């Protein structure tokens, strides 16, 4: 096992993957590349959705917020993870740990609700196409996004504060690579049964409830698609929903495995890899999924590049 430098008294020690020194080198490269791609891809989606008038629709309004959440979510975790993977210092200050806990929990909770909101948008687009513009008006879209953010912030203020107030009796070794609620609860030196029940109930509300709403929405979408006779309409319906469904599968599949699994298995390395999937890998794949499978985004990128070339040509002519 790699020696962990514990010279900074009072700091938390993120054990992470220190028992696999060779793996740390590989993970450093993977996380670095993933983080750079996350920054590039999500920033590109935000800019395209803002600059191209053709993308000023509810779907891309929600997608812009999803990209912003992913951008901030990964940024709250990746830099600290890279620092710990690269050197002997596996520490994080109590303030840094609290900031990471609050930020990542708020953004992760917001994404859970936001994906459910996007599923409702797809339901309205496929099942109520003639009334879509009336149903998904701008005020409703803003209210739904506001609800997602308020749910995330409210959850983190409650769960994060209770978790950080638990007595730890000097326990500073976090057997994870981030300050996350399940890992932080394990440091407590008191009976944490009530906290485990609270965590489970919060997981039911912010994970399983949105997931249930998503499944119901896609159940109605599947019924509507089955009634479509036109092959072109079939492809359009599948194209507009396929990207979102793939993102939901990746994100919810990983985060549910961590928060709903038995507590006794949480500290195992399997849990750390699953956490890597929804904190680092999924935010990297989301822009690729939406751009590679979406003609609107590719068309917007093409128009933006053509506009840029035309402006450069006019400057050269002058």
Residues 170-207: tens digit of each pLDDT: 888 888 889 988 888 888 888 877 777 777 787 778 88
pLDDT tier at 300, thresholds 50, 70, 90: confident
Query: What number is the average pLDDT over the span 56-85?
Result: 93
Q: Is the pLDDT higher at 310 or at 10? A: 10
Edge-to-edge strands, sheet with 91-92: 91-92, 12-14, 173-174
Take residue 120 and report the two structure tokens written for it: 């409702």
Both ends of the chain: CA-CA distance in Å?
Answer: 65
Residues 247-296: tens digit of each pLDDT: 888 888 888 877 776 454 444 557 788 888 889 999 998 888 877 666 77
Residue 167, C-beta contacts closer than 8 angstroms, at least 6 positions apart: 188, 189, 190
Looking at residue 267, its pLDDT comes to 44
Give the separation between CA 41 and CA 227, rounded to whole angstroms.
36
Domains of the chain: 12-305 (1.20.1070.10)
Instruction: Encode burial over 78-112: b for 16+ CB neighbours within 10 A, e otherwise.
Output: bebbeebbeeebbbbeeeebbebbbbbbbbbbbbb
CA angle, residues 180, 181, 186, in degrees to nearest 5 = 105
Q: pTM for this one?
A: 0.86
Give the separation between CA 56 and CA 58, rounded to whole angstroms.
7
- Under DSSP, the state recorded for 2 is P
Looking at residue 2, its pLDDT comes to 46
């Amino acid at each position: 096992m790699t020696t962990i430098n514990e010279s900074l008294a009072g700091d938390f020690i993120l054990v992470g993957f220190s028992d696999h020194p060779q793996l740390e080198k590989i993970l450093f490269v993977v996380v670095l590349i993933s983080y750079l791609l996350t920054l590039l891809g999500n920033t590109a989606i935000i800019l395209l959705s803002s600059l191209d008038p053709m993308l000023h629709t509810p779907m891309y309004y929600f997608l812009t917020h999803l990209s912003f959440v992913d951008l901030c979510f990964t940024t709250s975790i990746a830099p600290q993870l890279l620092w710990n993977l690269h050197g002997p210092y596996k520490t994080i200050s109590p303030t840094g740990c609290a900031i990471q806990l609050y930020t990542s929990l708020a953004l992760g909770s917001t994404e859970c609700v936001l994906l459910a909101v996007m599923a409702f948008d797809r339901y309205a687009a496929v099942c109520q196409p003639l009334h879509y513009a009336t149903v998904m008006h701008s005020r409703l879209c803003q209210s739904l996004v506001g609800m997602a953010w308020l749910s995330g912030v409210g959850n983190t203020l409650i769960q994060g504060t209770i978790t950080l107030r638990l007595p730890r009796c000097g326990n500073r070794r976090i057997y994870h690579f981030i300050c996350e609620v399940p890992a932080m609860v394990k440091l407590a030196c008191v009976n944490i049964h009530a906290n485990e029940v609270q965590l489970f109930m919060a997981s039911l509300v912010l994970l399983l409830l949105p997931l249930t709403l998503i499944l119901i929405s896609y159940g109605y979408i599947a019924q509507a698609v089955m009634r479509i006779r036109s092959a072109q309409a079939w492809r359009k319906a599948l194209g507009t929903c396929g990207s979102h469904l793939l993102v939901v599968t990746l994100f919810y599949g990983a985060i549910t495995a961590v928060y709903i699994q038995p507590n006794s298995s949480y500290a195992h390395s399997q849990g750390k890899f699953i956490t890597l999937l929804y904190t680092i890998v999924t935010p990297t794949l989301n822009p690729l999924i939406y751009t590679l499978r979406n003609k609107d985004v590719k068309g917007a990128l093409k128009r933006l590049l053509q506009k840029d070339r035309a402006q450069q040509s006019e400057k050269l002519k002058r």
